[in-house]
Amino acid sequence: MRISLGENTIMALNTLRENKTRSFLTVLGVVIGITALITVASILVGFYEEVTVYLEDYGPNTIWIFKVAPGISPGRLTAEERNRKPLSFEDSVAIRQGCPAVAKVSDSIFKRIYDFNRPPVITARYKDKEVNGLDYSGTDTDYVDVYNARPYLGRFFTDAENMHRSDVAVIGYDLGQAFFQGQDPLNKTITVEGFPYQVIGVLEHRKGQLLQDPRVEKQVIVPFRTYRKHHPEDDENFIGAIAAPGRMAEAQDEIRAVLRRTRHVPYSAPENFGLSTAKQIADQFKQITGSVALLIAVVSSIGLLVGGVGVMNIMLMSVTQRTREIGVRKAIGARRRDVISQFLTEAVVLTGAGGVIGVLLGLLISVLIHIFLPRLPSSVPLWAVVVAVVVSMSVGLFFGMYPAIKAARLDPVDALRYE
């Protein structure tokens, strides 16, 4: 059995070598289909890894609370969601006091959001430089722990600075680069919305930039009470909470109960606020990428189908060309299963070679993405390579079955007479 399989494989490879152009054109559909599958798999896996890294950077026990559910929105917000009353500072105090399963709570305040597709445009200035599109907010000192914020220069503000409404600010990495370009940014004064702030810290880059709002790297974070001093009319609050270890579900239930009470939501009415966790957002993204992967798989299968039909056609032609050879083999004792094995091996080797070429092209595309589009994540998983090769060989096995059976059924006498 091993000798027969080895001989059939060698004969198949010889056939490929003798008919390079014909063989390549035959499996071109397989090559295209496998290349598409590998490329899409590498991008989707890269996306998912980036999302996971980004969310884990905030910590596995972080809960995000807003007037609508934070995360990846599957569609446009309803009118009711857009018109919901913002969360309040009192809501964060109630969560802090009434949720034993919550370890820490941080409240951030910023301008009211009326259109989520067009957030307010905030401008910062330093001397003759100006940067637009900032994420400008006021928050408390628990922000550092709740959101795992790490200043790589300077420090975060203190409770005393918050209580005394000090005009100090911690800025994002990109904003620091835009304004200071290698200079020491500490104790420099920037102007945001016409109000001067002394820079006391610069935050590190967040891991995983895929989901990152570009404005976040251009953050300006000031003490909560300082922000209220300058912008008493602003009332949009975003609350972050850390669940105690092993008490994530309990913490979410407690937060929901507290907010339904503070926001006067009737027992039978739906919630007018939203909660999300890192796991929930990752699951949302996984569902979206799964749907995209299914769509691409269907499209790619068309290429595999075309390649399979081409393989069947070329194998039928091969049976006709090698009729006398088949007759000779059967005349000297070859059984039907030997002939079937020979032609199936050739078909599998043919499409398997196309699969290998497709995998190599997919790997090359992934490398080119890393070189020319470094912000687009791409990572070719081993399972995708294995699946691609197995699928390509399965195409040869399926579409090579009919030609192989046709060859095995030839009468040896008639085959020897064939001219």
- Greater confidence, 371 or 249? 249
Tell me whether residue 235 is exposed, middle or buried, using C-beta atoms within 10 angstroms of its C-beta: 0 to 12, 13 to 18, 19 or more.
middle
Q: What is the pLDDT of residues 1-55, one digit of tens each?
A: 444 666 667 766 676 677 777 777 778 888 888 888 888 888 888 887 877 777 7
Query: What's the N-to-C CA distance of the chain in angstroms?
Result: 32
Tokens encoding 305: 């189908």
Predicted confidence (pLDDT) at residue 323 exceeds the cutoff of 50: yes
pLDDT of residue 283: 80
Which residue is listed with tokens 């550092």? Answer: 144
Q: How confident is the model at residue 197 (pLDDT cuts 50, 70, 90)?
A: very high
Per-chain mean pLDDT for the chain: 84
Tell me whether residue 21 is exposed, middle or buried, using C-beta atoms within 10 angstroms of its C-beta: 0 to 12, 13 to 18, 19 or more.
exposed
Average pLDDT value for residue range 352-371: 89
Tokens encoding 273: 């606020």
Short-list 136, 164, 161, 159, CA closest to 231: 136
The letter for the amino acid at 20 is K
Cα angle for residues 406, 408, 412 (degrees, 5° grid): 110
Per-domain residue ranges of the chain? 2-54+284-417, 85-272
The letter for the amino acid at 257 is A
